[in-house]
Structure 1
Amino acid sequence: MNRIAAFIQSKVSLLTKGKSRTVKAKKNILGSILIKGGSILISLVVVPLTIDYVNPTRYGIWLTISSIVGWFSFFNVGLTHGLRNKFAESVSKGDTESGRMYVSTTYFILALIFFSVWLIFIFVNPFLNWAQILKVSEDMRREVSTLAVIVFTYFCLQFVLKVINTLLTADQQPAKASLIDLLGQMISLAIIAILVITTEGSLVNLGLALCLAPIVVLILANVYLFKGKYRLYSPRISAINVSESKGLFNLGFIFFIISIASLIQYQSANIIIARSFGTYEVTSYNIVYKYFNILGMAFGIFLSPFWSASTDAYLSNDIQWIRNAIKKYLFLIVLLVFGGIGMLVFSPQVYDFWLKGQVEIDFILSVWGFIFFISFMFGNLFVNFLNGISALRIQFWCSLISPFVYVAVAILLIRYFEMGLKSLFIASLVANFNGILVAPIQYYLIIYKNRKGIWVK
Structure 2
Amino acid sequence: MNIIKKFSNTTSNVIFNIINSVLVKGIAIIVAFLTIPAYIKYFDNNVTLGIWFTILSVLSWILNFDLGIGNGLRNRIVTTLAQKQEEKTKKYISSAYIFLLIIAVIVSIITCSLSLIVPWNNVFNVSNTDVSSADLTFAITIVLLSIMLQFILRIISSILYALQLAFIPNMLSLLTSIILLIFVMYSNAYLANHNIIALSLVYLLAVNLPLLITTLVIFKNRLRAFRPSIHFFDFDYAKDTLKTGSAFLGLQLEAMIINNTSIFLITWLLGSIYVVEYNIYFKVFSLVSTVFSLITVPIWSAVTKAQSEQNYLWVKKTIRVLQLIAIIFSVVQLMMLPIMQFLFDVWLKENSINVDYEIMILFSIEQSVVIWSGICASICNGLNELRLQFILMTIGAILIVPLAIVFTGILGGYYGVVLAHTIALLPYCIGQTIWLEKYISKNIIKVKKEAILK
With the length of structure 2 as denominator, give the TM-score of the two structures.
0.92
Equivalent of 2:27, from 38, 61, 65?
A: 38
Question: Which residue does the alignment assign to 1:389?
Answer: 383
1:380 paired with 2:380, answer no
Question: Which residue does the alignment assign to 2:417?
Answer: 424
Q: Relative to structure 1, is the Cα distance of residues 280 and 353 closer, same or farther in structure 2, using a 3 angstrom cutoff? A: farther
With the length of structure 1 as denominator, give the TM-score of the two structures.
0.92
1:249 paired with 2:242, answer yes
Question: Which residue does the alignment assign to 2:398?
Answer: 404
Deviation at 1:344, TM superposition (A): 2.5
Equivalent of 2:14, from 8, 25, 29?
A: 25
1:83 paired with 2:77, answer no
Equivalent of 1:175, from 167, 173, 195?
A: 167
Contact 1:75–1:113 (CA under 8 A) maintained in structure 2: no
Question: Which residue does the alignment assign to 2:139?
Answer: 147
Question: Which residue does the alignment assign to 2:51?
Answer: 61
Deviation at 1:434, TM superposition (A): 4.5
d(CA) in 2 for partners of 1:62 and 1:290? 15
Count of residues in correspondence between the two structures: 440
Amino acid of the structure 1 residue aligned with 2:249: F
1:226 paired with 2:208, answer no
Question: Which residue does the alignment assign to 1:6?
Answer: none
C-alpha RMSD of the superposition: 1.8
Contact 1:101–1:239 (CA under 8 A) maintained in structure 2: yes
d(CA) in 1 for partners of 2:121 and 2:186? 28
d(CA) in 2 for partners of 1:126 and 1:245? 32
d(CA) in 1 for partners of 2:226 and 2:357? 50
d(CA) in 1 for partners of 2:211 and 2:238? 25
Q: Relative to structure 1, is the Cα distance of residues 329 and 37 closer, same or farther in structure 2, using a 3 angstrom cutoff? A: same
Identify unmatched segments of 5+ residues in structure 1.
Answer: 1-11, 453-457
Map of 1:112-127 to 2, 5 A cutoff?
112-127=102-117
Map of 1:162-311 to 2, 5 A cutoff?
162-198=154-190, 199-311=192-304
Deviation at 1:126, TM superposition (A): 2.2
d(CA) in 1 for partners of 2:147 and 2:438? 39
Question: Which residue does the alignment assign to 1:9?
Answer: none
1:159 paired with 2:159, answer no
Contact 1:21–1:309 (CA under 8 A) maintained in structure 2: yes
SS at match of 1:235: coil
Identify unmatched segments of 5+ residues in structure 2.
Answer: 446-454
SS at match of 2:97: helix
Contact 2:376–2:433 (CA under 8 A) maintained in structure 1: yes
Q: Relative to structure 1, is the Cα distance of residues 70 and 402 closer, same or farther in structure 2, using a 3 angstrom cutoff? A: same
Percent identity (aligned):
24
State the Cα deviation string for residues 56-86 of structure 1 (Å, max 9, x = none): 2211000111222123233211111111111
Map of 1:300-339 to 2, 5 A cutoff?
300-339=293-332
SS at match of 1:13: coil
1:344 paired with 2:337, answer yes
Per mean C-alpha deviation after superposition, the further-off stretch among 329-338 and 273-282 is 329-338
1:134 paired with 2:124, answer yes
State the Cα deviation string for residues 225-265 of structure 1 (Å, max 9, x = none): 11111122221111111223443212211111111111112
Contact 1:351–1:357 (CA under 8 A) maintained in structure 2: no
SS at match of 1:278: coil
SS at match of 1:305: helix
Contact 1:310–1:389 (CA under 8 A) maintained in structure 2: yes
Amino acid of the structure 2 residue aligned with 1:226: F
Q: Relative to structure 1, is the Cα distance of residues 95 and 446 closer, same or farther in structure 2, using a 3 angstrom cutoff? A: same
Amino acid of the structure 1 residue aligned with 2:75: N
Deviation at 1:401, TM superposition (A): 2.7
Contact 1:380–1:435 (CA under 8 A) maintained in structure 2: no
SS at match of 1:127: coil
Deviation at 1:172, TM superposition (A): 1.5
SS at match of 2:187: helix
Contact 1:284–1:359 (CA under 8 A) maintained in structure 2: no
Equivalent of 1:364, from 355, 358, 376?
A: 358
Deviation at 1:359, TM superposition (A): 5.5
Amino acid of the structure 2 residue aligned with 1:395: Q
State the Cα deviation string for residues 308-345 of structure 1 (Å, max 9, x = none): 00000011011121111112112211221232123322
Amino acid of the structure 1 residue aligned with 2:26: G
Deviation at 1:197, TM superposition (A): 0.9
d(CA) in 2 for partners of 1:68 and 1:175? 26
Amino acid of the structure 1 residue aligned with 2:176: G
d(CA) in 2 for partners of 1:17 and 1:277? 54
